[in-house]
Chain A
Amino acid sequence: MAVDDKMVARVAGLARLKLAPEEGAKMTRELNNILGWIDQLQAVETGNTQPMNAVMPITREWRADVVTDGNIAEDVLANAPEAAHGFFAVPKVIE
């Protein structure tokens, strides 16, 4: 599999990344290198191998349904470029 500049521009658009044409071209080259390695991996016969879903043994580490966190609005907003009245303030988004 390989990607072209158009595909890279589309994925960048979906991820809200602004790429200059030359950056896009560079990204296409790099991604195609990576996809080349994936193609190499595809050569391995895996028809009889179960997919590995986790590298850890599966244990059921569930949380109890209790409130243990929150009430840290100040911390949550500390890195926000802009905040107002306890909210994050972002450029107006209307779909």
Chain B
Amino acid sequence: MTTPYTDGPAGTYTIEGQTGPWELVIGLEVHAQVTSNSKLFSGAATEFGAEPNSQVSLVDAAMPGMLPVLNGECVAQAVRTGLALGATINRWSRFDRKNYFYADLPQGYQISQFQHPVVGEGAIEVETDDGQKTTVGIERIHLEQDAGKSIHDLSPTMSYVDLNRSGVALMEIVSKPDIRSPQEAGAYVGQLRSILRAIGTCDGNMQEGSMRADVNVSVRKPGAPFGTRCEIKNVNSIRFIQQAIVSEAKRQVEILESGGQIRQETRLFDPETQETRSLRSKEDAHDYRYFPEPDLLPLELTEEFIAECKASLPELPAAKRARYENELALSPYLAGVLTADAEHARWFETLLADSARRQGKPEIDVAERAANWMTGDLFGALNKLDLDISASPVTPTQGGELLALMADGTLSGPLAKQVFEIMLETRENPGDIAEARGLKQVSDTGALETAIAEVLAANPDKLAEYRSGKDKLFGFFVGQVMKASGGKANPAVVNELLKKALA
């Protein structure tokens, strides 16, 4: 029997079998839905969640005589993706027919790119949670049509088919077998998602199926040649991808250690049982009978077109992260958290610009406070409310105002937290809240001196103890004065005045 994974000698991830450690070799095929208004080969809409079969043209339904016409924007999106992954763009590529039979594939074939994909080799650097960096090679990216959707649980005897997805453009992003652990697989998909979202070529929404992965797993003794792999189809979350890898690798180790052989096959991962099960074996594996798509011309790209795609790319997450570290002096951790998601980075940059403007300081001087507040207070609150940054009740400019009020001493840390809680509830501006509810910090020496005098008068015994050398009681007096002020006293001023009063 295998035990749960352990770390091997060189820090490599292994699975401990009876005969010693086994290494994992993992490759991922990520299917990413291309962000576009209309489908790859027809003018029907791509929006998620429409009425069944309402976003279907006669082309998508494969009515006889219908011909595909390529959507240029989908090509541009694939090229942008290739450029962002540092990959070769093939000036000449071609579409092929992949033939198979299924109820939700009306054509009886999928138009894909088999021999000549639009994007060739590239690589991305990924970093796991423990800070280890590794490079994962990209084998290719090709464009293809999505199939329709079958729904099996609406009727006891029939399967229902909705063709709204039929013909939607997908990019299949194929990695090299460079991944060696579930952590790396997760980091790779996360990094890919972050890049695609940043450049706007895929919304990365895994719940809605905009990104899903086929996971290839094999095991080997350290240093041995690659073993026979199995492919786990259609895994739709990073967590499931990682669980499927562990479960599949353990299954293979058990088979190999008991003298068996791995059959190359397609498997499905069941999150309920945490196990993979066989979908079909190689013997009756699909023979796709690929051939060049006769209804489409080869895809030829001009240098001008590629240059336009390149010019349209925004700053990539890795470059943004480096800029945050170098130009804003943020820690690698904060820079990483803020740039992992394009929406977060956009929010942060508005917050930062506003914050700097209000305080009349350069961005570098206010960046760390802004980053800490956003990743701490704001993310904490959104997490609790189960809200996305796009649905945040607090706007970046309100955040900037709050930070400015803290910076100029109007709000102390605890008061700012109170004001922030109210902002989350009422969506009011922090300045208005502080004004209307009297939450401003009291730095007025006259009022504080009075409060101090009252505290000292009310605690003659403590005062006597302090005077006889019990210095620790200073904190007690500060606390009492803060309490008397309803938490609104400026602690720095209280300290100063108390020292004078007790001297």
A interface list, Cβ under 8 A from B: 10-11, 14-16, 53-54, 56, 58-73, 75-77, 82, 84-95
Contact = CB atoms under 8 A, between A and B. Distances in A.
Contact of A84 (B61, B71, B160, B289): B160
A82 B160 CA distance: 10
A18 to B, nearest CB: 13
Nearest to B169: A65
A64 B108 CA distance: 26
B162 A87 contact: yes
A69 B66 CA distance: 13
Given A53-B94, A63-B72, A65-B36, A90 B43 contact: no
B276 interface: no
Contacts of B163: 76, 88
Contacts of B69: 61-63
B43 A60 contact: no
B101 A70 contact: no
Contacts, number: 142
Interface of B: 36-38, 42-45, 51-59, 61, 69-75, 94, 99-103, 108, 150-152, 154-155, 157-163, 279-280, 286-287, 289, 292, 297-298, 300
Given A65-B38, A76-B56, A88-B161, A93 B102 contact: yes
30 contacts: A10-B287, A11-B289, A14-B99, A14-B101, A14-B286, A58-B297, A63-B38, A64-B71, A69-B42, A69-B43, A69-B58, A70-B55, A73-B53, A73-B56, A77-B53, A82-B158, A84-B155, A84-B158, A86-B51, A87-B52, A87-B154, A87-B160, A88-B162, A88-B163, A90-B158, A90-B159, A90-B161, A92-B158, A93-B152, A95-B279
Main secondary structure of the interface of B (DSSP, over half): loop
Nearest to B68: A63
Main secondary structure of the interface of A (DSSP, over half): loop
B43 A62 contact: no
A60 to B, nearest CB: 7
B292 A53 contact: yes
By Cβ-Cβ distance, the 7 closest A-B pairs, closest first, are A62-B72, A68-B43, A65-B73, A87-B160, A69-B43, A69-B57, A70-B44
A63 B151 contact: no
A67 to B, nearest CB: 4
